[in-house]
Amino acid sequence: MWKLASHWLCWFLIFTYVVKDVKTEFKTKRNALLIVADDGGFEIGAYRNKICQTPNLDDLAKNSLIFNKAFTSVSSCSPSRSAILTGTPSHQNGMYGLHQGVNHFDSFNNVESLPKILKKNNIRTGIIGKKHVGPAEAYPFDYAQTEENNSILQVGRNITHIKLLTREFLNSTLDKPFFLYVAFHDPHRCGHTNPEYGQFCEKFGNGEEGMGVIQDWQPIDYQWDEVQVPYYVPNTEAARRDISAQYTTISRLDQGVGLVLKELENAGHLNDTLIIYSSDNGIPFPNGRTNLYDSGIAEPMFIFSPLHKKRRNQVTNSLSSLLDLVPTLLDWYEINKTVIITKQILTGKSLLPLLVKEPADTSKEAVFASHNLHEITMYYPMRMIRTQRYKLIHNINYGSSFPIDQDFYLSPTFQDILNKTKANQPTGWFKTLKNYYERPEWELYDLKHDPSEVINLAGKPNMEDTLQELKSRLIDWQGKTEDPWICAPHAVLEDKGYYKNNSLCMDLDNLW
């Protein structure tokens, strides 16, 4: 035996084993968990909601940096999720509207996405819940339990099922760093697809007859007269009942987050995993989802890092975008973004420096948004820039009525507005349907004096300089992100053939 042990091969094996061990120890220290709520997620204690009970999210927020000014780049599910996963706006990655059914939108096949980039860097990727993006080759997760081969209710709302899938993913990911995307379907509406479970599927799995059981869920019922009604939702019984159902599913989401975090802890990964909580778009209420007003684009967001302890339970007012998530994750995994991203410019920035220090001056910051469609019939392209002080929206299809989607249309909140408007009764809403449908080409708001965005300053002579400055920053971003709509609606973009090296907006002479 001694003779054998001194053989060079044996020393070689021992040596490489030791080296490998040191290397894996460094490598396995960087995992990430991205938790995304569906259509909302602000209704939690960390964002000063005093009624909806969310102890797990509140605990996570206490250990995180809380973002007060985080925004999606588009208030629509598939486009937003494609932007989250690619770091590019929907006009650049091709996901112009919803992915499912007749809508049929997809990103470009060759778009760079987190699952592609991370895979190349030997990081195992998993998705549990709502995927809602395609094509498959653009988003190749190693582990996928999604609506593509499961019931969305099971993978997106059954928190016991989600817990077991999380356990399965973590258990099958022992040798590599991982990225896990848990995409809850709560608190999305469901009255239009599964009316038997209630407006928000709040009865699914609650143990009542025919509803089934979700073993780990303690359903919480909310009184409609106690909920907090946001300023942009009418303060009516119909809307309040809608909100109370939404709260029940937010509390289910919260308990689901608690279970997922417990699995992470049991697997020994609470100390090496970056945890990000956010949502895809605004709530499915009037002036919310599909709008670029703050009520449609503001997102909850907090980031827990095991390596950044300084700013836990602090708030940042720096402007951030869901377009920042790809750069943030590349930074976390220490992936050189110039090597990986050769095809697409990322206009976002890593958010990790904010976990160390608040920038001294945030006054020059801006976030951008770009909406094209939601459902296939809802062509209403808009572009937006938001600074700390101002918001400029360009309604490219301003000649047309603002479109309404089918699940929001059927909601009691909207039906109530519609019924009362038809009957010439007060709606209790801060807008009329007419001014909601009919929008001017440019909307400019002073968010300091008019946070609910109702006084349009576009066209006011004393605001001309501000408008021009914002417009030029917006067009600059559209150029950088290769926006096909950059010349719309008063000109045609010519950028091929003779104009390849000198693209031009050519006038349509349609301004009258």
Ligand X SMILES: *[C@@H]1O[C@H](CO)[C@@H](O)[C@H](O)[C@H]1NC(C)=O
Angstrom distance (rounded) from CA 118 to CA 29: 15
Integer angstrom CA distances of residue 120 from 23, 49, 92, 179, 258 = 18, 41, 22, 13, 31
Please state the closest distance from residue 414 (CB atom) to ligand X, in A. Answer: 8
Please state the closest distance from residue 340 (CB atom) to ligand X, in A. Answer: 9
Torsional sign, CA 356, 68, 390, 489: positive
Those residues with Cβ within 8 angstroms of residue 372's Cβ, 6 or more apart along the chain or in another chain: 79, 90, 91, 96, 97, 379, 380, 381, 485
CA dihedral 265, 260, 181, 106 (to 10 degrees): 170
Identified catalytic residue from 77, 190, 201, 487: 77
Please state the closest distance from residue 185 (CB atom) to ligand X, in A. Answer: 13
Those residues with Cβ within 8 angstroms of residue 242's Cβ, 6 or more apart along the chain or in another chain: 199, 200, 285, 411, 412, 413
Angstrom distance (rounded) from CA 343 to CA 111: 8
Those residues with Cβ within 8 angstroms of residue 6's Cβ, 6 or more apart along the chain or in another chain: none
Angstrom distance (rounded) from CA 85 to CA 73: 12
For the chain, give percent helix, strand, coil, nearest 5: 35, 15, 50
Q: Which of 328, 281, 347, 250 is nearest to 132 (CA)?
A: 281
Output 339 or 511, the one with its CB closest to ligand X. 339
Please state the closest distance from residue 4 (CB atom) to ligand X, in A. Answer: 33
Angstrom distance (rounded) from CA 330 to CA 291: 30
Output 163 or 394, the one with its CB closest to ligand X. 163
77 in catalytic set: yes
Please state the closest distance from residue 37 (CB atom) to ligand X, in A. Answer: 19
Integer angstrom CA distances of residue 375 from 62, 147, 223, 459 = 37, 18, 33, 32
Output 5 or 339, the one with its CB closest to ligand X. 339
Please state the closest distance from residue 241 (CB atom) to ligand X, in A. Answer: 9
Output 217 or 293, the one with its CB closest to ligand X. 217
**Residue 313 amino acid letter:** N
Output 119 or 471, the one with its CB closest to ligand X. 119
Angstrom distance (rounded) from CA 209 to CA 224: 23
Please state the closest distance from residue 337 (CB atom) to ligand X, in A. Answer: 8
Output 6 or 338, the one with its CB closest to ligand X. 338
Element (DSSP H or E) covering residue 443: strand 442-446
State the residue number with the nearest CB to ligand X: 212
Output 193 or 472, the one with its CB closest to ligand X. 193
Please state the closest distance from residue 155 (CB atom) to ligand X, in A. Answer: 8
DSSP 402: P
Output 383 or 420, the one with its CB closest to ligand X. 420
Those residues with Cβ within 8 angstroms of residue 466's Cβ, 6 or more apart along the chain or in another chain: 390, 444, 457
DSSP 78: H
* Residues forming the site for ligand X (CB under 6 A): 29, 144-145, 149-150, 158, 160-161, 164, 171, 205, 212-214, 238, 267-268, 271-272, 336, 338-339, 412, 415-416, 419, 498, 500-501
Q: Which positions are annotated as active-site residues? A: 77
